[in-house]
Structure 1
């Protein structure tokens, strides 16, 4: 048990209250009841506190009960507000109260300590504590500062690493762009990342490959264009003059090449003043190989005609050459027409070529049908026919590019439309007839490009 050697009285309380963050007051505590407290107050002029049986505390002065404002003077606050409002707590001082005069403990008596403070005073003492709380706070702040400094250093190191890595990736992309600009399309950017920059490098490599492929395609197209131009030049050089006079016969030829080089062929052989042979054919396909085959066909026909072959024999001989010496089974149509003025006759031998038309002086237009398989197969059997060819007659031979020319809706010009045009214009001379056919064709196709070469051959007998 502890014994209080210092009197816990008002003087001590005022001394403590003046130097700490709280006010304190000490009261003798009677363990009795309210009545006992009243009797004691009547005998002695003193202030005391009595703890009642229900746990409450009553303060008395000379037997009169006191309220909180009478225990202390009014609370002096620096400012108004909740944090400056006074709070009062109490606790029992567990010591024996000793009478200093006699040195004997006072039986049945103890002390009650009242403590008055405010949240603002508590905080002020905490921040200005003499128990080195401020030092601890500064230590905490220093620790936090060191922690954030280390974190900042780590973040700076990571950021520097990322910046250097990004810079290297950008330099690789820049080097790739420079190489591509120099024309080195085989260059590829090394891909070492799996982020957006890595995706960009992969996209750059794909773009370079696409450009390389595109340039290869462009070069191939240029090569094909040059090849087609060469084939067109070969084709044009092998065709005869567009206008030719052979005695009383006038030959007019019209040739319109398609966008791609085809295999249209025609030739005129004036064998004498009274004998003329015209040949017209078409090699299947387009391009340089077709043009070369057409040139070979022209040479073969010309050589055989000058050797004396004619009509069916001529076509059979040409077919034999194609079958025996041709490396490919390309189909070739051919029509050979011989005009004999001495006999006023027209003789036609045909192998798969579109039928010619004969316009007579009486104004009729006859389709010279002579069906047969084209050249290039052993099954080809040329068809022949013979017709009168008096003065004023007009022969019209053409390639399939005329009847297959299509309108904007895809409808072909067709044989029926050609027959109608010839029937309506049968009384016209050869030159005018050619102009009418081409005008009707142009109006029908509305200026569209031809899908195939167009050849129109007109032979007119004037006398």
Structure 2
């Protein structure tokens, strides 16, 4: 009795995830703009109040000089009262000597010769030098409810011509007008922000629907094709990543259909291999990436029984260049379909990740439960920051990468811990704990070699494997050459070793070299 495949249950679709994350970032951006403008208005109003206060205090101190010298209380009180009356925002206008003893107060003559107590709890904010105060600073102080601007009364000694301070003018300004203006602006901006938030959220859901629509259609097409209707046309025709997947699925379906017509003339296994080879050839990169200060060389030779070898290049977040070498534990069409799935997911995830660990964790999370329990994917992922030649490397149970150091002319292994992708027993969190990331800088002449087990397990007619030792040796002997030279030397060494013995597995190589 055939075991029934459990029905797939979707929890959160791409549309919902994309919409929620985009909404979060839009709201975060609106909140940032909101706070920026509020803070900007507070600073603008404060600067304007300080500027006007300094001008008023310095002009008053200049006018109060003569009556202060002659101890003309009546004139000083009258002047202070007029300043306070003509400027409603002023809490007080007080004239003191240099010891902060009141000499004139418009509210009561009884306060004369009393200490100016308001100045005790003030915190000095800054000092300003103006032309009208003869180089003596105007002091700006504040407490939670007010600003105090203190302008010096400066006189010149008749005999010596020396300038000195003989007293101060204190102007007190309430912070309430600024707070009131900010509250009004706050209400206005909150309304505008609410309107834009609603419009933005609606726009996001509309945009998300438009973006994900192609994936939804493609999923339905794949389900129909998966049920055996190979004549079903793929509806998605866009020229983007989704269109590329649709094209790959369409090619896959077309090749499967062609294979069906030939199954009557030859055995099924042979034709499955042909289909898988075509899919694999389509999905492998057609051009090498151009990276300043670096060069890349690759080699791929499929076996008669095609495996699931795969390599690719892509742009990652923060301007990094990504490389991946993978091997699906499965042959024929099944292995190739897993390779298609892995390649598609890797290309979609790479744009959001800036290091290979996050990429492999995301790939594992998506593959887990989507592939048969007896299948898995090994992979080695690299992120290169071209400007610094900074390399980050992770291995998901893959063959260790080889690193050639030009400065010493030697080759060693890069073997960070990691587990294969798609193992159902490991959750995303558990997998993130298992996998390690190696980080280092490539120096001029250094080279990294990624490969699949078809290289080290290539056998001669005597059944002897090529092995890791021979691989290290050929890299060390040819490491001073270009990336293509290193690749060609490895391929030639394998050919000389196997001497015409049948190739049992795909041979895949990638060489990354710093110039």
TM-score (norm 2): 0.45
Tell me if structure 2 keeps the 8 A contact 1:242–1:253. Answer: no
Say whether 1:423 aligns with 2:476: yes
* 1:189-246 deviation line (CA, Å, top 9, x unaligned): xxxxxxxxxxxxxxxxxxxxxxxxxxxx984744332221111000000000254422
Aligned length: 246
Q: Paired residue for 1:452, among 481, 491, 505? A: 505
State the shift of 1:306 in Å: 1.4
Aligned to 1:33: none
Aligned to 1:286: 331
Say whether 1:365 aligns with 2:411: yes
Say whether 1:241 aligns with 2:286: yes
SS in 2 for 1:451: coil
Tell me if structure 1 keeps the 8 A contact 2:263–2:271. Answer: no
Q: Paired residue for 1:374, among 402, 414, 420? A: 420
Say whether 1:399 aligns with 2:452: yes
Aligned to 1:333: 378
State the shift of 1:277 in Å: 0.9
State the shift of 1:438 in Å: 0.9
Tell me if structure 1 keeps the 8 A contact 2:320–2:354. Answer: no
In the alignment, the residues of structure 2 paired with residue 249 and residue 429 of structure 1 have an alpha-carbon distance, to the nearest angstrom, of 10
State the shift of 1:308 in Å: 2.7
* 1:315-366 deviation line (CA, Å, top 9, x unaligned): 1111111213334341210111011123331110111010111112212212
Question: How do 1:248-397 residues align onto structure 2 when only pairs under 5 Å count?
Answer: 248-271=293-316, 275-308=320-353, 310-362=355-407, 363-377=409-423, 378-379=425-426, 380=431, 381-397=434-450
SS in 2 for 1:325: coil
SS in 2 for 1:433: helix
Q: Paired residue for 1:231, among 258, 262, 276? A: 276
In the alignment, the residues of structure 2 paired with residue 301 and residue 294 of structure 1 have an alpha-carbon distance, to the nearest angstrom, of 10
SS in 2 for 1:353: coil
Residue 330 to residue 302, structure 1, CA distance change in 2 (3 Å): same
Tell me if structure 2 keeps the 8 A contact 1:260–1:452. Answer: yes
Aligned to 2:78: none
In the alignment, the residues of structure 2 paired with residue 240 and residue 414 of structure 1 have an alpha-carbon distance, to the nearest angstrom, of 27
SS in 2 for 1:459: strand
In the alignment, the residues of structure 1 paired with residue 310 and residue 508 of structure 2 have an alpha-carbon distance, to the nearest angstrom, of 8
In the alignment, the residues of structure 2 paired with residue 218 and residue 275 of structure 1 have an alpha-carbon distance, to the nearest angstrom, of 46
* 1:49-108 deviation line (CA, Å, top 9, x unaligned): xxxxxxxxxxxxxxxxxxxxxxxxxxxxxxxxxxxxxxxxxxxxxxxxxxxxxxxxxxxx
In the alignment, the residues of structure 1 paired with residue 388 and residue 354 of structure 2 have an alpha-carbon distance, to the nearest angstrom, of 19
State the shift of 1:258 in Å: 0.2
SS in 2 for 1:302: helix
* 1:236-279 deviation line (CA, Å, top 9, x unaligned): 00000254422222211100000011100100114599631101
Tell me if structure 2 keeps the 8 A contact 1:247–1:274. Answer: no
Aligned to 2:27: none
TM-score (norm 1): 0.50
Aligned to 1:17: none
Aligned to 1:438: 491
* 1:371-420 deviation line (CA, Å, top 9, x unaligned): 32211223442221112112222111001100000011001101111111
In terms of fraction of residues, the more helix-rich structure is: 2
Tell me if structure 1 keeps the 8 A contact 2:307–2:330. Answer: yes
SS in 2 for 1:333: strand
SS in 1 for 2:481: coil
SS in 2 for 1:280: strand
